[in-house]
Amino acid sequence: MKDSLYQDPTVSQSRRLERLSWTEIAELQKKTNCLLVPVGATEQHGPHLPINTDSVIAEKVCDYASGKTGVPVLPVMAYSVSAGHTTKWTGTFSMSHATFIEAIKDLVGFAVETGWRRVVLLNAHMGNDASLRVAVDVLRVKYLGQLQIVVVNSFTLSDEIWQYFISDAADLHANKGETDLMLHLAPDTVRMEVVEDDSDRTTATVFSYPVSQTSLNGVTGNPSEGSAAQGAWLFEMMGEALASLLERALEEEPPLPKSAWEGTGFSF
């Protein structure tokens, strides 16, 4: 049996804050005030993938980018907004949208109060996107001048990555792309002997539907086409794209000088 979690030299050099004491973190902050937060989910991923799929992907892509850039990584946020999967399949555990937004606000608030000035939220679950953007909108004005913050989705880090993810399903879930990655990152958690494809039924719809109304087995796409080799290629591309984004984030300042915006923040 293959190792349960893929290791490579770049990933193993990740600066995970959970491994450090507060004094070590204080020393680290003298070198960087940027923080990387992986955001995953705990939810059904069809009959063949584990419920931590999104969390594994978020964490490992962050590890890769951290190993390349030295930007430290918080522990993955494994519980988030999976309400769109409903209760049709066991294995889904979701926060409400409001609770998740407040959790992000509280977490980032503590980060700001303890000296972090740049926060990059790396999200690997599409259902989190709207809530994360609301949280970012609140935080960027509350901490105006103290914080620069952004949410980026692992599956849209570049157009090439996005096109690969949606190649078998625009409303992707547990599809080929995610299966590729898990075959590479955590092969002993993937059950290809029970994999079942289920086509995307949303391409011509007007309304937005929860997964229980669009999928028979929790899958949207063709995971039977999954490949560890393709997963290795995709993972490296995602890690490199995030590392490149972080390099820019470490240097970026607001487009206008402080005199143009000072005192215009607002706390909700």
Confidence at residue 4, expressed as pLDDT on a 0 to 100 scale = 42
Q: In this predicted model, which residue has the larger pLDDT, 70 or 10?
A: 70
CA count, 13 A, side-chain hemisphere, 29: 17
Give me the mean pLDDT over the 4-32 stretch: 82
CA distance 78 to 115: 24
Give me the mean pLDDT over the 94-103 stretch: 98
Between the alpha carbon of residue 3 and those of residues 90, 152, 209, the distances in Å are 27, 29, 37
Q: In this predicted model, which residue has the larger pLDDT, 7 or 187?
A: 187
Give me the mean pLDDT over the 56-77 stretch: 97
Confidence at residue 1, expressed as pLDDT on a 0 to 100 scale = 32
pLDDT-based confidence at residue 8 (cuts at 50, 70, 90): low
The fraction of the chain above a pLDDT of 90, given in percent, is 94
The pTM (predicted TM-score) of the whole model is 0.95
Sheet bearing 148-153, strands edge to edge: 34-39, 118-123, 148-153
Confidence at residue 10, expressed as pLDDT on a 0 to 100 scale = 62
Confidence at residue 2, expressed as pLDDT on a 0 to 100 scale = 42
Confidence at residue 7, expressed as pLDDT on a 0 to 100 scale = 56
pLDDT-based confidence at residue 13 (cuts at 50, 70, 90): confident
- Mind listing the pLDDT tens digit for each residue in 113-151? 999 999 999 999 999 999 999 999 999 999 999 999 999
Give me the mean pLDDT over the 183-211 stretch: 97
Residue 82 has pLDDT above 80, yes or no: yes
Report phi then psi at 74, rounded to 5: -80, 160
Confidence at residue 22, expressed as pLDDT on a 0 to 100 scale = 96
- Mind listing the pLDDT tens digit for each residue in 162-181? 999 999 999 999 999 999 99
Mean pLDDT, rounded, of the chain:
95
How far does CA 122 lie from the centroid of its chain? Answer: 4
Confidence at residue 5, expressed as pLDDT on a 0 to 100 scale = 47
Confidence at residue 267, expressed as pLDDT on a 0 to 100 scale = 87
The fraction of the chain above a pLDDT of 70, given in percent, is 96
CA distance 239 to 17: 19
